[in-house]
Each structure stands twice: as C-alpha cells, then as structure tokens.
C-alpha cells in the first residue's frame, strides 16, 4: 500500500512536468498553473497520508523502505531504486510538497504576464520531483540523482528569462559552482564505499565505523561530502552563485533558493549524522564554516539595495546557522531551523515577489517606501516573517535560532567563539531585515510617479497568509526543555521526540544550565530589539548620521558593499588564468608542438623516400656499382663470417 | 548469423552500385534498418550467464599460417556490434538532404565501412581483425576527403597517416606473436584464443623486453585510434572537416575500435606489461580528460569544441579500462556506448544547424533558443547527457569509471573528478553563447525553421536511448557483467572459451 503512495507521491509532479512540458508553447497560465499545483498538491496529500501512517507505527520500526527495481548492479555495488520514508525524510517531504504547493499557487498570479508559463510550471514540477528523490532516496546514489536534478532545474529556472545575457550567465554560474561541490560529494561517496562497501544509508549508518579523532579516512570522506554541501547549500567558499541566482523568477527564489534545495546539504548531513558525530574534526570544520558564512553573509546583506539580494544574503547567513548547528552536534536544531526558515523565508521571498509584481519589476528598495498603505496583506504577512527571523520571542525563528545559539555553547563540540559569531550575526540579521522593512514598507514613499502599486490577487496573498501563520506558530514544534518546564501543559520538544533514536546523541553532553540558557536568550532578544530599533531610526530620521558614518568608514563600507570582492577575486585568480592556460595549451601544445612533431616525422619519411628514390634513378652505371658493393658485402660474410 | 550481419552491408554496397541514383537513399535506409534488425538476433539469443564466445563461426582461411576466418561475440563486444548497426540508419537519415554530391559512392562507402567496423568487433583471429581494421580506413578516408569541408584533403591525409603509423607497429607485434605461437604451440596461428595461451617472455627492466615492446606496439595503434593524448591531434581536424555523417560515424563507432582493441588485445595478451604500464596509461587518460576539456573551452567553432570534448570523454574510457576492476571496465564499456550516442547526437545537431546557417562559429550565434525552441530542448537534453547528469546514460558510465578509478588509484581518481567540473563548464558556456542572450548575427539574418519531422525523428530516437540507458542500465549491464567479471578476475591468465554446443 505504501508502495503505491510513494509511487504517486513521486510520479505526480513528474507527470505534471511532462504534461506542461509537451504543451510548452501554451500561454494559458491558469491551466498550466492549475495542473502543476494540483500535481504537487497530490504529492502533499500523499505525504500527509504517509505521515499519518508513520504516526500509527511503533517507534522502533517507524519507516518504510520500498524498492522498485535494481538500478545499477556492478561488481559488489548494488544500487536499488529504493526510497526511505522515515521521521527525518517525512519532515522534509512535508516541507517540500506543502510549501511547494503554496509557491505553485502563488506562481499562477506571478507568471500571469509571462510568455511561457507552461514551460515555467513544467520546470517547477520537475524540481519538486527531483527534490523528493533527493530526500527520499535510500542510498547516496539516488540522493545524488535528485541532488544534480535539482541543480539542473535551478539552472533552467535561474536562466528562465534567457534572452537576458546576465540571467543566462547566472544560471551557468550556479550549475558550475554546484558541480565543484558535486565533485567533492562524489569523492565522499567513493570513500564511504571504500570503507563500508555499500551506499545504502542504513548500511553506512549501522556499519559500526570507529571514531576518528584525527584526520583519517572517515574525516576526509565527511569533509568531501561537506564540500558537496557547501556547493548546494551556498556556504563559504562556494556561496557566490546564490546571490546571482536571484535572476530567476521570485517564486523560484522562494522555493528553490530559500525553502528547499539549498537545505539539501543540511539534510544530507542529518541523514548521515551517526557517522558525522564520529569525527570531531570534520564537525568542527562544518561549525566554523557555518558560523563564518552566517557572519559574512549577514554583513553583506546590510549594504544591499536589491530587495531580493538582501533576502539572498540572509538565506546564505541562515544556512550558515544551520551548519553551525550541525557542526556542534545539534542535528535536530539544524532540521528545526530548516523548517522554520522554510516558512518565514519563503514567506518573505513571496512577499518580495508580491512587491516586485506591484512595482512593475522594480527591485531597488531605494525606489520603494510607504508601501504599507497600498499592500496591506503583503505588508502584514511580511511583518510576521520579519518578526520571526529577527527572533521575536515565541515566534518560529526565536525557538530555532536560540536553540542553535544555545547548543553552540552548551555542546562539548561547541565553544564561546562560535556562540559569539552567531550572536553578533543575530544582531546584524535584525538590522538588515529592519532596514529592508523600513525602506520598503514604512517611511516616506519614494515610488516613481508613473508606478501605481496595488495589492496582489488572492491566489498570491493566500499563500502569504498561510505561510505567515506557520511562521508565527511553527516554532512550537521545538520548544526548548528549559522553556517547556515553565509553560503550562509542558509542551515537549516535539521534533526531538519525533526523531528519537535517528539522531545520534552528542558524546559528553552535560545537563543544561537553565539560568545560563535564559540569560543567553534574553541577551539575544535584547540585541535584536536594539539593532532593529537602531535600523528603524537610522533609515527614517537619522539618515544624515548614517551618511556621516559611511563617510568615516569609507574603506570598510566599500569593501562590504562590494561583497569583499570575492567574485572579482575568483574571476581574476581562477577563471581567467584557467582560460588563458587553455588558450596556451591549444595554441602552443596542440597546434604548436604536437602537430609540429608529426610534421617532422612525416617529413622525415618523405626525405627518406626521396633518398631511397635516388637509388632507383635509372642510371645503369650506378646499379652496377650497387651490385659490386653487394657482392663484396656478401662475399665478406662468406670469407670472414 | 554473424556472417550474415557482417557481409550483408557489403552485398548492399555492391547492389547500390547498380541502382539508379534516386533509388539509392530509400534502398540504403531500408537495408540499414534490416541490418539493424538482423543484429538484434544477437541480443535476443545471447546467453548472459557465460563469458564464453557465442555465435561462433570458424573457417580456415590461410591454413599454412594458421589464419582463419574466426568470428564470435561475447559480453564485451555485443553492444559495440549493436551500436554500429544502430548508428547506420541514423546516419543515412541525417544525411538525407545534406549530402547531395555523388550519393551513390557515399552510401557505398558507408556500407563498406559498416562491414569493416563490425568485422573488427567480431574478429577472433588477429589477422582477420587487422584486415578489417585496415579496411575501415579507406571508406573513412573517402568520406572525409570527398564530402568534407575546405581543408578536407589535409584532414583526411592526416587521419590516414596517423592511423597507418600506429598500425604498422601493431602488424609487427602481431607477426612476432604468430612466430612465438609456432615456437610454443608447435604451429603458427593467429587465433586469438590460442594467442591468449602464449607465455610471452617478460624480462623485468630489460631494454627490449619482448612483452613490453609488443604491448606498446599494440597500445600505440589503439591509442592513436582512441585517440589518447598526445596522439590526438588528427581528431579535431578530421571531425571539423568531415561531413556530419562522417563525424557521427567517427565519434560514434570508429574511436571505439581503439578502446575495444585495448580490452580485447592489449590488456589480456600482455598482463605483466599491463601491470607495468597501467599508471602510465591512466596518467595519459587523466591528462586527456583535463586537457581535452580545457582546450574545448576555448574553441571558437562548435564542431571543434565537440571534437575536443571527444578527447576528454575518451580519456574516461581509457582510465576506466586501466582501473582493471569491474566498475572501471564496465563503466568504460558503457561510456563507449554513451559517447557513441551522445557525441553522435551532438554532431548530428550541430550538422542540423549548420545546414541552416552555414556557420559553426559560436560568436555568430546567440538567442537561438527563441528561434528554434524544439531544437534547443533537444540540444540541452543531449548536453546533459554529455556532462553526465544523473538520469541520463552519461552518468552511469562516468560514475562507474570514476569509482573504479578511485578504488584502484586514489590520486588518479581525484584528478579525474576535476573533469566533471570542466565538462560542465565548456558545454554550458557554449550553450549559453549559442542559445541564450540576445539574437546573434545569423539568428537575426537567417529565417530559421525549427526541426522538421525527419530531424525530430532522429533526435527522438537518440533521446529515448539517452534516458533508457540512464534510467534502466541494468538491461545493458546484464549482458556485459559476466564477461567483464571474467576479464578482471583472470587478468593475469586470461582465456576465452567457445560456448559449448556451437
């Protein structure tokens, strides 16, 4: 029975992609959008059905492992087309299909003026299919199909408006940057196969690998996998593609570049958490990269003017938080933040889409302001997202972010340094998000005269409302132990209970010091409130003060506003030398050297042939000479030999 | 049955010579499809449970020297046979309108070439193999030299001389093998199964080590055909100057004669030498992957780009073989088929656009996606197959090769994985320039028709193969598995039997 549900779940979006794919010329956005939305809706329904089945099962056997056919079978490698639905993957499946259907619905309105809506919806459905493969695959290779498949969809959707050269280039950049990560992921897969002899998640997790406290093969394998994660989940040093990826339609940014695909790296690590916990060094690298990414991305977000770019850097930064969580061993907190982030960031991206739609494709927040009165629903839902991300108490972001910050100091794998980076980042987050709110929705209107902003249709605002509700209440799935003991009714950390044994315990984790936990929580709330207030004041009343500050720290401002010149560095030091070298290889090695040698060889033969031809020039006297010489040589052999 | 499949094309070539011109194309197409159906006999009746040779036929040819007409098929050659017969109807269809000069000679060349290629895949006698190997040169030489581009004479002679140069050494090694057989087995023979039994002296470290020299002689001939770095420079010229059907048959099938030669001759005949030189060939393979990809990246001509991508892809095939484990060798065989289909398809697609615009300069294009949407979809699907996106055939081959290589030599594996990134880079860069952005010069000036029914048919068949081989590879791998396992397990004392009851 569950086999049928799983088949429906996977094939429904694929079918949708094919239907819209074959009628890609159609301009009927309503029909195309409805087909696509219904197909994802069916998947969501199937996910819910499977979820309720799981709920009814005993904890120790709470999973479905369904195999459809043998995919690859070579030597001792056997890869079935098998899918695993367990407490971890079902959470992702619900997010993907749930948030996914809302975003599909939103897209109908958003793409109403587009020339090729059917093609768009075909790609979007195909993305859902691949994303489901990614999270449901029972082994690393099925995951890898989805992993590259979502990358392909991302490439196609970023470059959806391909007549614009910049947009096509952004798609290509995303694909190639991700490919670098994928190369690492492949090496990780090979190393794991070398150690375990299987690619199945259950085999790997239960292989009984021993702890690797140094830099042994396990650590290398895990770091190689992490390289894959830095690509897909936009971490240092491979994050550069994500801000550019904003070239795609905004709902795509919400679905792929905020809620689902970019969390694939986190999902992979959680899927393999029993082996990640075995290598403190690999975990430390992950935590450090996560914390630094969170910090630097947030700092870049502060000085952006494009509404989507701000959200993009915010996403990179929030993904950094998730890796920080994973690195200190708080896997549940990582997934928890994936979930709450999917709600509030999808909400804000869709909200920005609603704004962009209303502003006739304008994305510069300097040309907005005061939109509150034109777009009340968009504004109020956006406010919920804003409150959630800056960590307003009892909203979703508060619970998940504070759990991460708390674990980064509480866990024996964590440290005060990591906490400090995370803490400062939280302040910056509140600052740049409030800046965005202030410049977009509040204050004076700077909207050009010929633009008349208007509220979006119901198909666009409905998803916003649903996501706003989720952003507000979604955090109650993971109430921290400290807080839950204070509350009436003792709501437990539902997510932790749900994952149960699937999450490896952190070795040496002590008892929580609630007093410390509360004080840290209070500190981050105060910091967030303070920076939010500061940002509001600075961007409404004290703009002259702001300008003075910028004037004073010109160098730093320049550095951050130009995103630390990372793209320029990559271009000048990696891409250009590579192209120059390739040109040199072609001109000097291929044409200039190897071909020259072949000419020399062939000329030598030609010369030889000429020389030999000389011996047969028809001159009888010379022939007589040859005969004499030959006679002499053979006679000498007879006489002396 | 093998003889029927082998000589049917030759008979057709003869018949074509006496047909009126307007009959040539329909008859050729019909015959090529018939030939493909004949060859499916092997797929239906193949015994997947044995590594022994099947469908064997043996007749004495020159008994004085122990040379016989000896043909058979096993898991290593079966798909190459099918690939050859599969490609021919596609080529005839693809050249339906693009070749209009001397079509009779052209089709005769194609059919003779098919016999030659099939012959090299099924020959189990070394001299017979050599005969077919050399025979394949002449029609290919004609196809490039007569129907090719402006520098066709240069390209065809370069192709011919390069290949002949390697073949001469192979012939010398072959003759020494036959004399060795006379010493060891009491009679001269070129029967490959007997040659496998020879104990070829291997003197470690000695200059003039007989086994090493023979291995290198064979390897040189095959390396040129593959082509491996640094003897690849004939390929870009041949590909660029050849007419579309020539490029397709060259990339699709002929290059595989080289890699197949390694698997059938060089590796099993000279195990100690292989052991000694494995690192060297893996190294050249990896260099080929990276070098081919880098040079492809800076090509201004689409066809030349695809040609250099061939060098890169064939590098994968080489490292996979020399990994000498089941993953690598299986992946290598699979990659030969993939390359035949994907690169063949790329050449066909490039040919289709060239027929319309008469330019292959990347800089002349831009924005083609808007003008020819269906063509664009097809091109992008094939591109994905070429850069080995999972779900397409390319992934299965590349993954198995990389894993096999990594398991046998970590450093080579890591270096080869770099190719995965570069492969995506040059292909997507080209796709971006040709299809995306604003309409370029030729796109604006030419009235471009999207694919017609004939073209769509060709492309659809190839795309179906791309997905079939990517989604359900088991169907294909089941045929090769036992033979590959047999090869990698008995690499030091390889022997092949003839299936009992034949």
Closest to B325 (Cα-Cα) out of B83, B177, B143, B488: B488
User: What's the gap in Å between the CA of B357 and the closest CA on chain A?
Assistant: 20
**pLDDT at A418 (0 to 100):** 94
Q: What residues in A contact B391, CB-CB < 8 Å?
A: 145, 149
**pLDDT at B209 (0 to 100):** 86
pLDDT in tens, B178-189: 999 988 888 889
pLDDT in tens, B322-343: 999 999 999 999 999 999 999 9
Helix (H, G, I), strand (E, B) or coil at A80: strand
User: What's the gap in Å between the CA of B403 and the closest CA on chain A?
Assistant: 6
Using the predicted structure, report yes or no on whether residue B493 has a pLDDT greater than 80: yes
Q: Does B334 touch chain A (CB under 8 A)?
A: no
**pLDDT at A112 (0 to 100):** 86
Q: What residues in A contact B431, CB-CB < 8 Å?
A: 172
Q: How far apart are CA A288 and CA A282, in angstroms?
A: 10
Per the DSSP assignment, residues forming a β-bridge with B390 are: B392
Contact across the interface for A163 and B473, Cβ inside 8 Å: no
Using the predicted structure, report yes or no on whether residue A482 has a pLDDT greater than 80: no
pLDDT in tens, B44-80: 999 999 999 999 999 999 988 989 999 999 999 999 9
- Arithmetic mean of pLDDT, A545-565: 85
**pLDDT at A489 (0 to 100):** 65
**pLDDT at A352 (0 to 100):** 94
Q: Which two tokens stand for residue B267?
A: 């590796």
- Arithmetic mean of pLDDT, A226-240: 93
A173: nearest CA in chain B? Answer: B425
CA angle A485, A490, A493 (to 5 degrees): 90
CA B348 to chain centre: 16
Q: Does B374 touch chain A (CB under 8 A)?
A: no
Contact across the interface for A187 and B413, Cβ inside 8 Å: yes
Q: What residues in A contact B291, CB-CB < 8 Å?
A: 585, 589
Phi, psi of B392 (to 5 degrees): -105, 165
Using the predicted structure, report yes or no on whether residue A507 has a pLDDT greater than 90: no
**pLDDT at B269 (0 to 100):** 92
Q: What is the CA radius of gyration of chain B?
A: 22
**pLDDT at B68 (0 to 100):** 92
Express as a percent the part of chain A with pLDDT over 90: 59
Using the predicted structure, report yes or no on whether residue B501 has a pLDDT greater than 70: no
Using the predicted structure, report yes or no on whether residue A60 has a pLDDT greater than 90: no
- Arithmetic mean of pLDDT, A472-482: 82
3-state secondary structure B273-341: HHHHHHHHHHHHHHHHHHHHHHHHHCCCEHHHHHHHHHHHHHHHHHHHHHCCCHHHHHHHHHHHHHHHH
CB atoms within 10 A of CB B103: 18
Closest to B292 (Cα-Cα) out of B324, B318, B315, B319: B315
Using the predicted structure, report yes or no on whether residue B370 has a pLDDT greater than 90: no
Nearest to B327 among A77, A159, A598 (CB): A77
How big is chain B, counted in residues? 502
Q: What residues in A contact B413, CB-CB < 8 Å?
A: 187, 190
User: Is the Cα dihedral A507, A508, A512, A515 positive or negative?
Assistant: negative
Q: How far apart are CA A63 and CA A57, in angstroms?
A: 8
- Arithmetic mean of pLDDT, A296-318: 93
- Arithmetic mean of pLDDT, A428-433: 95
Using the predicted structure, report yes or no on whether residue A503 has a pLDDT greater than 80: yes
Q: How far apart are CA B349 and CA B334, in angstroms?
A: 22
Q: How far apart are CA A85 and CA A93, in angstroms?
A: 9
**pLDDT at A604 (0 to 100):** 85
Q: What residues in B contact A74, CB-CB < 8 Å?
A: 326-327, 330-331, 400, 477, 481
Contact across the interface for A141 and B295, Cβ inside 8 Å: no
**pLDDT at A601 (0 to 100):** 82
pLDDT in tens, B346-368: 999 999 999 888 888 999 998 89
**pLDDT at A517 (0 to 100):** 87
User: What's the gap in Å between the CA of A286 and the closest CA on chain B?
Assistant: 22
User: What's the gap in Å between the CA of A429 and the closest CA on chain B?
Assistant: 34
Mean pLDDT, chain B, rounded, equals 92
Q: What residues in A contact B297, CB-CB < 8 Å?
A: 578-579, 582
Contact across the interface for A581 and B406, Cβ inside 8 Å: no
- Arithmetic mean of pLDDT, A280-293: 95
Q: Does B381 touch chain A (CB under 8 A)?
A: no
pLDDT in tens, A3-49: 999 999 999 999 999 999 988 888 888 999 999 999 999 999 999 99
Contact across the interface for A179 and B424, Cβ inside 8 Å: yes
User: What's the gap in Å between the CA of B423 and the closest CA on chain A?
Assistant: 9
pLDDT in tens, A402-429: 899 999 999 999 899 999 999 999 999 9
Contact across the interface for A72 and B400, Cβ inside 8 Å: yes
Using the predicted structure, report yes or no on whether residue A120 has a pLDDT greater than 90: yes
Q: Which two tokens stand for residue A537?
A: 């004041």
The residue whose two tokens read 């207030």 is: A533
Q: What residues in B contact A24, CB-CB < 8 Å?
A: 373, 377
Contact across the interface for B327 and A182, Cβ inside 8 Å: no
pLDDT in tens, B144-182: 988 888 888 888 888 888 888 889 999 999 999 999 998
Helix (H, G, I), strand (E, B) or coil at B233: coil
Q: Does B341 touch chain A (CB under 8 A)?
A: no
Q: How far apart are CA A266 and CA B86, in angstroms?
A: 45
User: β-strands B67-73, A77-85: how paired?
Assistant: unpaired
Q: What is the CA radius of gyration of chain A?
A: 31
**pLDDT at A488 (0 to 100):** 67
Are B368 and B443 contacting, i.e. CB atoms less than 8 angstroms apart? yes
Residue A64 — very low, low, confident or very high, per pLDDT cuts 50/70/90?
very high
pLDDT in tens, A143-170: 999 999 999 999 999 999 888 888 999 9
Contact across the interface for B438 and A165, Cβ inside 8 Å: yes
Q: How far apart are CA A323 and CA A446, in angstroms?
A: 38
Nearest to A176 among B390, B425, B481 (CB): B425
Are B459 and B451 contacting, i.e. CB atoms less than 8 angstroms apart? yes
Q: What residues in A contact B330, CB-CB < 8 Å?
A: 74-75
Q: What residues in B contact A159, CB-CB < 8 Å?
A: 436
- Arithmetic mean of pLDDT, B25-46: 94
3-state secondary structure A450-514: CCCCCCCCHHHHHHHHHHHHHHHHHHHHHCCHHHHHHCCCCCCCHHHHHHHHHCCCCCCCCCCCH
Prediction ipTM score: 0.93
Contact across the interface for A585 and B295, Cβ inside 8 Å: yes
Q: CB under 8 Å to A385, separation ≥6 — which residues?
A: A344, A345, A347, A348, A351, A467, A468, A471
Contact across the interface for A69 and B330, Cβ inside 8 Å: no
Contact across the interface for B417 and A183, Cβ inside 8 Å: yes
Residue B422 — very low, low, confident or very high, per pLDDT cuts 50/70/90?
very high
Mean pLDDT, chain A, rounded, equals 90
More confident: A512 or A167: A167
How big is chain A, counted in residues? 641
Q: Does B294 touch chain A (CB under 8 A)?
A: yes
Question: Which of A27, A69, A75, A161 is most worth mutating to test chain B (most B CB atoms within 10 A of its CB)?
Answer: A75
Q: CB under 8 Å to B172, separation ≥6 — which residues?
A: B217
Q: What residues in A contact B436, CB-CB < 8 Å?
A: 159, 162-163, 165, 168
Contact across the interface for B421 and A582, Cβ inside 8 Å: no
Helix (H, G, I), strand (E, B) or coil at B82: helix
- The residues in B 425-454 lying below 8 A from A, measured between CB atoms, are 425, 428-429, 431-432, 435-438
Q: Does B413 touch chain A (CB under 8 A)?
A: yes
Q: CB under 8 Å to A449, separation ≥6 — which residues?
A: none
Question: Which of B369, B403, B404, B418 is most worth mutating to test chain A (most A CB atoms within 10 A of its CB)?
Answer: B403
Nearest to A70 among B432, B435, B474 (CB): B474
**pLDDT at B221 (0 to 100):** 94
Contact across the interface for A74 and B477, Cβ inside 8 Å: yes
Q: Does B400 touch chain A (CB under 8 A)?
A: yes
**pLDDT at A233 (0 to 100):** 94
Question: Which of B305, B432, B482 is most worth mutating to test chain A (most A CB atoms within 10 A of its CB)?
Answer: B432
**pLDDT at B64 (0 to 100):** 87
Of A263-267, B1-5, B148-152, give the lowest mean pLDDT range: B148-152
Nearest to B473 among A72, A190, A582 (CB): A72
DSSP per-residue codes, A325-377: HHHTT-HHHHHHHHHHHHHHHHHHHHHHHHHHHHTTS--BGGG---GGGT-HH
Residue B305 — very low, low, confident or very high, per pLDDT cuts 50/70/90?
very high
């Amino acid at each position: 029975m569950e086999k049928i549900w799983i088949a429906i779940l996977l094939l429904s979006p694929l079918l949708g992609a094919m239907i819209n794919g074959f009628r890609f010329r159609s301009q009927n956005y309503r029909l195309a959008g409805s087909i696509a939305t219904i197909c994802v809706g069916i998947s969501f329904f199937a996910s819910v059905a499977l979820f309720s089945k799981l709920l009814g099962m005993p904890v120790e056997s709470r999973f479905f492992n369904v195999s459809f056919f043998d995919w690859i079978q070579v030597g001792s490698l056997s890869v079935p087309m098998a899918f695993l639905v367990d407490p971890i993957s079902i959470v992702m499946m619900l997010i993907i299909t749930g948030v996914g259907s809302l975003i599909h619905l939103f897209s109908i309105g958003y793409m109403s003026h587009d020339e090729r809506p059917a093609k768009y919806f075909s790609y979007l459905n195909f993305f859902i299919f691949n994303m489901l493969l990614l999270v449901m695959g029972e082994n690393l290779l099925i995951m890898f199909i989805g992993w590259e498949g979502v990358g392909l969809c991302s490439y196609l959707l970023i470059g959806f408006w391909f007549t614009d050269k910049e947009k096509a280039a952004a798609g290509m950049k995303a694909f190639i940057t991700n490919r670098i990560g994928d190369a690492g992921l492949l090496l990780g897969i090979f190393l794991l196969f070398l150690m375990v002899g299987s690619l199945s998640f259950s085999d790997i997790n239960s292989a009984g690998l021993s702890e690797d406290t140094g830099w042994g093969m396990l650590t290398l394998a895990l770091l190689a996998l992490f390289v894959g994660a830095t690509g897909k989940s936009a971490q240092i040093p491979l994050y550069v593609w994500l801000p550019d990826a904003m070239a795609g339609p905004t709902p795509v940014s919400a679905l792929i570049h905020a809620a689902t695909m970019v969390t694939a790296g986190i999902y992979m690590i959680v899927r393999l958490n029993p082996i990640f916990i075995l290598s403190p060094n690999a975990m430390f690298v992950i935590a450090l990269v996560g914390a630094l990414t969170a910090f630097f991305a947030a700092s870049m977000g502060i000085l952006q003017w494009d509404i989507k770019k701000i959200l993009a850097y915010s996403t990179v930064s929030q993904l950094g938080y998730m890796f920080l969580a994973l690195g200190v061993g708080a896997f549940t907190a990582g997934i928890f933040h994936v979930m709450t982030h999917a709600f509030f960031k999808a909400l804000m991206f869709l909200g920005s889409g609603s704004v962009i739609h209303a502003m006739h494709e304008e994305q510069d927040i300097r040309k907005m302001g005061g939109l509150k009165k034109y777009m009340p629903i968009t504004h109020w839902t956006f406010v919920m997202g804003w409150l959630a991300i800056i960590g307003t108490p009892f909203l979703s972001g508060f619970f998940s972010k504070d759990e991460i910050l708390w674990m980064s100091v509480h866990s024996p794998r964590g440290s005060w340094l990591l906490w400090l980076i995370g803490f400062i980042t939280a302040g910056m987050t509140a600052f740049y998000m409030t800046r965005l709110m202030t410049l977009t929705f509040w204050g004076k209107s700077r909207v050009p005269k010929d633009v008349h902003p208007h509220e979006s249709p119901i198909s666009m605002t409905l998803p916003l409302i649903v996501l706003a509700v989720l952003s507000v209440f979604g955090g109650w799935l993971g109430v921290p132990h400290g807080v839950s003991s204070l509350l009436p009714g003792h709501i437990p950390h539902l997510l932790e209970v749900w994952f149960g044994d699937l999450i490896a315990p952190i070795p040496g984790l002590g008892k929580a010091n609630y007093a410390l936990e509360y004080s840290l929580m209070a500190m981050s709330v105060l910091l967030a409130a303070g920076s939010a207030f500061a940002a509001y004041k600075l961007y409404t009343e004290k703009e002259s003060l702001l300008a003075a500050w910028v004037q004073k720290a010109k160098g730093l401002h320049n550095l951050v506003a130009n995103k630390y010149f990372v793209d320029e560095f990559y271009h000048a030091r990696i891409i250009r030398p590579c192209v120059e070298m390739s040109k040199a290889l072609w001109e000097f090695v291929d044409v200039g050297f190897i071909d020259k040698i072949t000419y020399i060889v062939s000329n030598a033969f030609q010369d030889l042939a000429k020389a030999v031809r000389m011996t047969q020039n028809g001159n009888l006297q010379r022939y007589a000479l040859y005969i004499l010489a030959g006679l002499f040589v053979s006679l000498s052999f007879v006489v002396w030999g | 049955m093998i003889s029927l499949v082998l000589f049917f094309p030759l008979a057709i070539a003869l018949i074509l010579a006496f047909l009126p011109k307007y009959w040539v194309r329909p008859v050729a197409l019909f015959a090529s499809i018939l030939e493909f159906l004949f060859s499916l006999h092997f797929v239906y009746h193949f015994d997947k449970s044995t590594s022994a040779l099947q469908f064997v036929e043996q007749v004495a040819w020159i008994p004085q020297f122990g040379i016989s007409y000896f043909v058979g098929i096993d898991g290593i050659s079966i798909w190459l046979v099918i690939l050859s017969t599969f490609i021919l109807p596609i080529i005839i269809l693809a050249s339906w309108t693009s070749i209009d000069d001397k079509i009779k000679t052209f089709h005769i060349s194609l059919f003779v070439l098919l016999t030659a290629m099939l012959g090299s895949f099924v020959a189990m006698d070394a001299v017979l193999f050599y005969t077919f190997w050399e025979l394949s040169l002449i029609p290919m030489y004609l196809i490039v030299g007569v129907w090719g581009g402006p520098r066709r004479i240069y390209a065809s002679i370069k192709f011919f001389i390069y290949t002949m140069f390697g073949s001469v050494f192979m012939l010398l090694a072959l003759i020494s093998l036959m004399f060795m057989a006379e010493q060891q087995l009491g009679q001269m023979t070129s029967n490959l199964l007997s040659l496998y039994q020879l104990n070829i002296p291997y003197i470690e470290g000695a200059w003039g080590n007989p086994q090493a020299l023979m291995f290198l002689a064979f390897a040189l001939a095959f390396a040129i055909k593959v082509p491996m770095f640094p003897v690849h420079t004939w390929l870009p010229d041949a590909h660029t100057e050849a007419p579309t059907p020539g490029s397709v048959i060259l990339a699709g099938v002929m290059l595989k004669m080289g890699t197949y030669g390694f698997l059938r001759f060089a590796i099993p005949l000279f195990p100690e030498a292989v052991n000694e030189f494995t690192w060297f060939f893996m190294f050249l393979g990896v260099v080929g992957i990276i070098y081919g990809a880098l040079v492809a990246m800076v090509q201004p001509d689409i066809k030349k780009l695809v040609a250099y991508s061939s060098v890169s892809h064939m590098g994968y095939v080489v490292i996979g073989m020399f990994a000498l484990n089941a993953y690598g060798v299986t992946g290598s065989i699979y990659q030969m088929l993939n390359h035949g289909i994907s690169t063949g398809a790329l050449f066909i697609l490039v040919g289709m656009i060239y027929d319309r615009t008469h330019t292959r300069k990347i800089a002349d294009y831009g924005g083609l996606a808007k003008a020819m949407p269906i063509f664009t979809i097809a091109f992008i699907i094939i591109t994905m197959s070429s850069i080995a996106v999972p779900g397409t055939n390319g992934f299965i081959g590349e993954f198995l090769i990389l894993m096999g290589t990594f398991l046998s030599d970590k450093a080579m594996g890591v270096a080869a994985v770099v190719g995965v990134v570069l492969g995506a880079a040059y292909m997507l860069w080209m796709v971006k320039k040709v299809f995306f952005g604003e309409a370029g010069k030729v796109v604006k000036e030419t009235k471009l028709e999207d694919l017609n029914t004939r073209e769509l048919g060709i492309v659809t068949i190839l795309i179906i193969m791309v997905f079939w081989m990517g989604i359900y590879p088991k169907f294909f791998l089941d045929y090769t598995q036992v033979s590959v396992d047999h090869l990698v397990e008995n690499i030091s004392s390889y022997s092949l039997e003839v299936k009992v009851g034949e």
